[in-house]
Amino acid sequence: MDEHDVLAARFEENRNHLLAVAFRVLGSRTEAEDAVQEAWFRLSRTDTDQVDNLAGWLTTVVGRVCLDMLRAKRSRREELPGEQLPEQVAEADGPEQAALLADSVGVALLVVLETLAPAERLAFVLHDLFAVPFDEIAPIVGRSPEATRQLASRARRRVQGAPAEPEPDQNRQRAVVEAFLAASRGGDLQALLAVLDPDVVLRADQVAVTTAKTYAKQGAPLLTAELRGAEAVAKTFSGRARAAQPALLDGVVGAVVVTGSRTRVAFALTVVDDRIVGIDVVADPERLGRLSMTLLG
């Protein structure tokens, strides 16, 4: 058996697991099969000598593919009148298969999953249904482990029957973000400390670190890959972030820097009890492309 056949055999050993993951994330048998097939294409082009855990690597790849597919589908979806059945049940070949699908996954769960933001849905499915650690999910959704945990927590509350977070909660979150930006621009260190959790963690990707150095004279914060503690983060942003403006990032209030029509940097902020506990600074174009963004006024 040659190397390609060995790789194909190892992939087949994981196929059912990958289909189960993709099936629950995407809500479509056909799309799940497409996602798994894309994972095989990517595996076949990868040097597997560098892959220590093939099952984990494949789960991560399928997660990324599913997230891209969810975001693309969400952006082009048209609002349809009336309540719709989940796609995988609608696609079933006859009533018997539809019943089997409903029993195995749960129509109620699938209906709720359809209402979640793509990143929330993926975080919940991978962690709660397949026990993938948040440390492994975080790079897929482009957030810190702490922020990823918050995504899954919001999704879990919805799945457990809690109503969607009311608009005032989002308004409070936006107020915290705007207070943070105002204090940053004004160089008000005390105001910054007031909105930052004492144990706040900032993480920035390498592109963000490099870009910040380039535009330091234009007011960009001086970033490092990781900063911990309110004082360190406050000093980093004091007198900075002049070009940042509030935005929804995957349905959560954060901030972005936009020049022309291009988003240069995104600040994904995790707010708990009216304080910022996490800041993820994203400037890598590929990661930015996976974020759903809407400017807020």
Long-range interactions of 128-133: CB distance < 8 A, separation 24+:
128/152, 128/155, 128/156, 128/159, 129/24, 130/20, 130/21, 130/59, 132/59, 132/63
Q: Tell me the mean pLDDT in the region 138-153.
A: 84
Q: What angle do CA 84, 90, 95 make, to 5 degrees?
A: 125
Most confident of 150-159, 186-195, 260-269: 186-195
Q: Which regions of the chain carry the CATH code 1.20.140?
A: 3-159
Looking at residue 246, its amino acid is: P
Is 19 within 8 Å of 35 (Cβ atoms)? no
- Its pTM stands at 0.54
Is 279 within 8 Å of 200 (Cβ atoms)? yes
Confidence of residue 278 (pLDDT cuts 50, 70, 90): confident
CA–CA dist 127, 148 (Å, integer)? 10
Mapped onto helix, strand or coil, the DSSP state of residue 80 is coil
Confidence of residue 74 (pLDDT cuts 50, 70, 90): low
Is 280 within 8 Å of 274 (Cβ atoms)? no
Q: Which regions of the chain carry the CATH code 3.10.450.50?
A: 167-295
pLDDT at 223: 87
Is 40 within 8 Å of 23 (Cβ atoms)? no
pLDDT at 50: 75
Confidence of residue 245 (pLDDT cuts 50, 70, 90): very high
Query: CATH class for domain 3-159?
Result: mainly alpha
Kindly state the tokens that stand for 213.
């150095």
Number of H helices, E strands in the chain: 14, 7
Q: At what angle do helices 107-114 and 95-105 cross, to 10 degrees?
A: 70
Confidence of residue 233 (pLDDT cuts 50, 70, 90): very high
Is 68 within 8 Å of 290 (Cβ atoms)? yes
Least confident of 169-178, 185-194, 212-221: 212-221
CATH of 167-295, one of 3.90.1150.10, 3.10.450.50, 3.30.70.860, 3.30.365.10: 3.10.450.50
